[in-house]
Structure 1
Amino acid sequence: MAGADNLHQKRIGTTERESAVSALGIHLSEGRLSLEEYEQRLTHTMDAKTNGDLLAIFSDLPVPHPTLPGVATLRPTAPRPPQAPPPSDVVVYSSKSKIAAGVLQLIPSFGIGRFYTGHIGIGLAQLLLTPVFGIGVLWCWIDGILLIANGGRDSRGLPLRD
């Protein structure tokens, strides 16, 4: 047992604390901890100096526990249900161009840029308001400038490409 005690007395670092914070976040999101308990345990996690200090924070919680090198978790880890892979940093862009959409909004000023991006409802509103009140022209100009400056999204929610 001296070896186990020695492992519990090993000092921890940022990686171990981050692992504990992540595990606490999961317990909070799954309703095992109240916000007050989470904050208390988070404070204890930041103050922890050894593996034993971190494990004590999780003594009454099921898995997940923090990953600590050389230390077994408090309970055997049950297989977790498969989860979706974490989102990647790859952004999928629309086949539509924000410059083309903006220019089509500015030049004819009839909402053509919105038809191009697939926003038929907005395009129809701009088209109908243009001859009636002339408000549609101002709306199209502002919309076109914003599309060029900030981009936008197509009807599927994908960001317009540059």
Structure 2
Amino acid sequence: MRTLQTAALLASTAGAALMAGLFCAFAYAVMPGLSRTDDRAFVQSMRHINRAVINGWFLVPFLLPLPSLVLATVLAAKGHGPEGLPWIIAALVLYGAAFLVTGTRNVPLNDALDKVAPDTAPERLRDARAAFEGPWARWNTVRAVLHTASLGALLWALHLHGAAAQG
């Protein structure tokens, strides 16, 4: 069971690291870069990004940590590597919160922006951008911080798990 817990922790850590990196990159590079474009380019670019990101390369590391963390939590609670349990629970809570932010904040903003046709009048593009850009960037920063904190908790849980295995 300890090997299964190690695998669950490693899968969760890899997913959390990839998501933290993706959302941090949006916070410090993608959104600041797009902020320098005109309204039409901004709306078109975000629509393209939001459609392109829904693929296996995103969905596997985004979704896999949740069941992996639940499994690692259950195994630790049953005595299979319990030393990291508080950190595994913290990682699960943080990752779950980030997942909820994505689903309840960023995705609805993406969906609203997706309804704006590229050939829309300039004032409608400006309004759509204004309704999207600030809130999306703020919530993206929140999820970036949550994923990064989850990653930190997972790294510490892995350290404790490995140290206990070496005895």
What's the TM-score once normalised by structure 2's chain length?
0.25
Which structure carries more helix by proportion? Answer: 2
Considering only CA atoms, is the larger Rg found in Structure 1 or Structure 2? 1
If asked which structure has higher relative contact order (CA below 8 Å, sep 6+), I would say: 2
